[in-house]
Amino acid sequence: MRALLFGHEVYETDAVAVLHYGFRTSAEVRALSRRNWVGIGAAYAKPVKGGHWWFAIVPAYALLVDAIGPPLRDALHLRRPHGLLRPIHFLTGFIQGWRTPVNKDTLLFSGG
């Protein structure tokens, strides 16, 4: 995000792959999901707090489409909803990020 906001280009490639060995328990998957969504929320708060107000569309999209969308689609298709806590974890991270000081020049957290 910072690279794009500071005028750099970012390229996506499928030339690299990561192979994971082993597995995670259900509890480990839930903990990892929580950490990821809290981190995503906090990361998306930085540019907005740093004065890039137009960037608010990105966390709004992530919240509505990526966090709320999947369990809502499950429910609408009469399936057991998965990921019901994603929006809560995302908002928890966003609020924590919003409360943490941000260096407006670097868009890095500067303490807290």
Q: Give the pLDDT of residue 26.
A: 92
Helix (H/G/I), strand (E/B), else coil: 79: coil
DSSP bridge pairs for 102: 109
The ranges assigned to domains in the chain are 2-109
The residue ranges of the chain whose pLDDT is under 50 are none
Q: What's the whole-model pTM score?
A: 0.88
The Cα–Cα gap between 1 and 11 comes to: 12
Q: Give the pLDDT of residue 20.
A: 86
Q: Give the pLDDT of residue 21.
A: 87
